Amino acid sequence: MIDDGPELFTIGQLARRTGLPVRTIRYWSDAGALPVVARSEGNYRLYDAASVARLELVRTLRDLGLGLDDVRAVLAGQVTVAQVAARHVRALDAQISSLKVTRAVLATVAARGSTAEEMTLMNKLARLSAAERKRIVDEFTAEVFGGLDTTDPDIRTRLQFGIPDLPEDPTPEQVDAWVELAEMLQDPGFRRSMREVIEFNAAGRTPATPPGSSLWFMSRLVHHAGEARRRGVAPDSAAAREVLAELLGDADRAHVLELMRSASQAEVARLRELIARVRGVAEGPRYQEEFAWVLAALEAELGR
């Protein structure tokens, strides 16, 4: 120790005063977070009382998880502790969100008894960034709804808001549903099926139709079939044929029946179910009775 001037300390003395390991103090000093004040005759590093206070601040910042680059920036006055803390909070939030997804994925894998390959796919899909998840939805809506927004300007917006993102704190069930939903949205076959369904459902709309009004085929089906069922109209009656005429106009009855029997309808129902599960809400009505009534009326009219 030097007799003249302020009291100086070796790394060993700093370690005893602060309780920090010598190797930690040396590492922080080498990294520039604790500058050397002087050198002893034997070329040992020496530090002063201000170094002790600085060392305590470095320890506090490091305990909070800040990297040495941020520590040096704070000590150099380049940023404030508040600014670094705010940035670190955002980083921690992202890490916490990632951990929640990891937990949900593992819980889903455990519940399903997934293979390593399934777990890898599930983890990959669940960890897609918000931007990547949005890209999947955007590509799906562009392919399925492209051109149809000329007769229904807000059709694409309604669907984009209808497809939910993965929640920040998902349950295993929501992760499971989101993974299946993401796979469906990216499947070319499903996109083609959805395009056919949407084109058929959009039939009857014109540019004069008010935006947002529910005049698609399925909405009309629910309305007309529901009214027919309430009136007790039998699917094989003349009155049922009148209902079909009002609902379908000149549309090819055989084509309508084929489409309603196709796997596309089951896929649309599954899509609605998955969306509800990701949202964590009860699924909306499927109108199975109305759908079955129209199927029966078509079969009766076609003699099938």
**218, two tokens:** 């399925």
Determine the Cα–Cα distance for residues 176 and 104; give it in Å rounded to an integer: 9
Neighbours of 90 (CB within 10 A): 10
Neighbours of 159 (CB within 10 A): 16
Q: Which of 36-40, 135-139, 259-263, 291-295 has the weakest average pLDDT?
A: 259-263
Where residue 1 falls among pLDDT bands split at 50, 70, 90? Answer: very low
Give mean pLDDT, residues 56-60: 90
Tell me what the pLDDT averaged over the chain comes to.
81
Where residue 242 falls among pLDDT bands split at 50, 70, 90? Answer: very high
Cα atoms in the Cβ-side hemisphere of radius 13 Å centred on 206: 1
Name the residue type at position 84.
V
Q: Given this model, what pLDDT does residue 205 score?
A: 54
Where residue 297 falls among pLDDT bands split at 50, 70, 90? Answer: very high
3-class DSSP string for the chain: CCCCCCCCECHHHHHHHHCCCHHHHHHHHHCCCCCCCEECCCCCEEECHHHHHHHHHHHHHHHCCCCHHHHHHHHCCCCCHHHHHHHHHHHHHHHHHHHHHHHHHHHHHHHHCCCHHHHHHHHHHHCCCHHHHHHHHHHHHHHHHCCHHHCCCCHHHHHHHHCCCCCCCCCHHHHHHHHHHHHHHHCHHHHHHHHHHHHHHHCCCCCCCCCCCCCCHHHHHHHHHHHHHHCCCCCCCHHHHHHHHHHHCCCCHHHHHHHHHCHHHHHHHHHHHHHHHHHCCCCCCCCHHHHHHHHHHHHHHHCC
Name the residue type at position 219.
S
Residue 233 neighbours by CB under 8 Å, 6+ apart: 239, 240, 243
Q: Are 17 and 52 in contact (CB under 8 A)?
A: yes
Between residues 191 and 146, the one the model is more confident about: 191
Q: CA of 194: how far to CAs of 135, 144, 147, in Å?
A: 18, 6, 14
Name the residue type at position 38.
A
At residue 161, does pLDDT exceed 50? no
Q: Which of 81-95, 147-161, 272-286, 287-301 has the weakest average pLDDT?
A: 147-161
**22, two tokens:** 């010598």
Where residue 177 falls among pLDDT bands split at 50, 70, 90? Answer: confident
Closest CA to 199 of 216, 187, 221: 216
**224, two tokens:** 């007309």
Determine the Cα–Cα distance for residues 294 and 204; give it in Å rounded to an integer: 18
Where residue 66 falls among pLDDT bands split at 50, 70, 90? Answer: confident
| % of the chain at pLDDT higher than 70 | 86
For residue range 167-176, list pLDDT tens digits in order: 877 887 888 8
At residue 211, does pLDDT exceed 50? no
For residue range 104-160, list pLDDT tens digits in order: 777 777 777 778 777 777 777 777 777 788 888 888 888 887 776 555 555 555 554
Q: Which of 14-28, 103-117, 246-260 has the weakest average pLDDT?
A: 103-117
Q: Are 37 and 51 in contact (CB under 8 A)?
A: yes
Question: What predicted TM-score, i.e. pTM, was given to this entire model?
Answer: 0.53
Domain boundaries, the chain: 11-78, 99-302
Give mean pLDDT, residues 53-76: 88
| CATH architecture of the domain with range 11-78 | Orthogonal Bundle (1.10)
3-class DSSP string for 255-267: HHHHHHHCHHHHH
